Structure 1
């Protein structure tokens, strides 16, 4: 498991309230007694008025109290009936309390169902290197023995054993290492394996359920923890370098969970667990499955893993970074290399005419923002593809075509 650290007036007065004034006599047909209870206006002659007032005073309170009691009885009965209906009825099989308890455990039952569904597709990876042994996790995504894991789990491996949940062991080999982020593809010679269902991380929302599964500490295999998606689009720096566009979760992730799955409430994989924060508890990170998908498909096709590349060093703009650099635009990728040029010599960006100070605002018409960072938009295309970038230069927007290259090893 990589350890990481995040890189990233006055109150208004109370609004005036305007309320209509009550009419002087909004109920002209009702009088008020001294005790505050209403009584109908008498419909009798003057000679019977005293008798009517005595009758109302004598029975008014008893009648009203009786009506209130009946209202409470019918209200309670109606509430109980509504509860039974909402819970699907008693059906003669139990009381209301039992059905409420069944409702409360439905979410836990969903987590149990997800754990049962995904566990057979999670593997423990035991790695031997020249410096010792380590353990991580992986996710089977094809029944033919294709597994995705973290680069830092298998980097430098001289031997590897893949342990399945059912107790079977297979020797494994590294098929390819991702040049963009902390991912790798591992292959075992086996068929008929249980493969995980892959989801779509582009539809993830903050606050939705997130379930992590892996082998924490290399000992507690197929451990399941649950939480939520705490944030999306996180950028962190790890021992392996900078990672962008990550999912943040409070589902417990520990060393040994690296390469394991982060799944949603349907059991679909939405991320690959990769790092934890050393500065706080309940702060874990996963690489979105949409970032991993292209290299997973390349492996299935039997081609070498590769990532698209344009060759720029840039700052991802937001309101803070824009203000710090006196820029009027707070979305996009600002080409700026600091002490060195923001455009890599010999890169596709140089060939296309991109320059320091340019701000790339769109890729193929899609706006670059916090939810759609430049790198996430680029990974959808294969090397060799020609894409069109919208670029803000000297206050004017120009469109520049770039032929994507192959990202070099970092």
Structure 2
């Protein structure tokens, strides 16, 4: 084996050890050797290097072995190694979270950005970064990366299209690089939500899904797609734009799925039907709680529409599971059962599951973005990682 091959093998093994440390609640050098099928001397050498870099947290001695041998020193990935900042750049709100590399949220903030331009929202983002970048928050390395969830199409770390903000003359990465030198990664918000489900395993099933879709029904409608454990972007990052699917043509042009069933569309439809101003989701939900016949009919249509969207996605991609992310369902939980029932009538033999991860509705994009950046800074992009809440 020549020297370059030795270096490649060494780097590969080191990544495997770091992955195992990251995923373990606790482990030991001996256990790593067994789990990874590596020689103890290889593990010891890699351990010394990672320990010197402070990637390893010492948890103390484990229990005595069955044969009465020496207690092993228990270790895991150092959860105080560093942190990332993640943004969800929504139409009405800018969400922000400071997240340890291991996944735990340390701090969150929410800004109202209704009516703001991209430039004004970026000023807010810069302010958050400045406020945290020189603070370690108890970690060794401090800030190591920034993620931005975009409600639109992202390709090669640039915004290609968004129905909510005009990014034409704005380079988000360059703007944020004015206040930080750490990596800045942009990702479509539904894609980030899909990564969140994959990496945080936010579901009750014991099964591990490596083929899943996150259907995000918020201001627009988009789908994040995981195939064989990997995020699928499609050509120019345009995969998953299901909200732009055409339902029918009208004299004014195409009518798309998100023109009918996104949150914004539902608020607008209710306002037209009632002649009253429906300024936000809370007003819509209050109408529903009053059992208004207008809202009841509107929600009946929404249930059938979302069931049809789900049916079409499953017929196209055949995932193991679709996770529906909808704040309507979070606040009116009975809607999920109705969607599932409507879908089952359309496709009674389907084996694809339809689930709702309530815990992640408001955090999926934030935490998925944090996971994406963490993988980048640790050079663990294509390995299976288990992040913690």
TM interval, short-chain normalised: under 0.3
Q: TM-score, normalised by structure 1?
A: 0.23
Larger Rg: 1
The higher relative CO (CA closer than 8 Å, separation ≥ 6) is in 2
Greater share of residues in strand: 1
Q: TM-score, normalised by structure 2?
A: 0.24
Greater share of residues in helix: 2
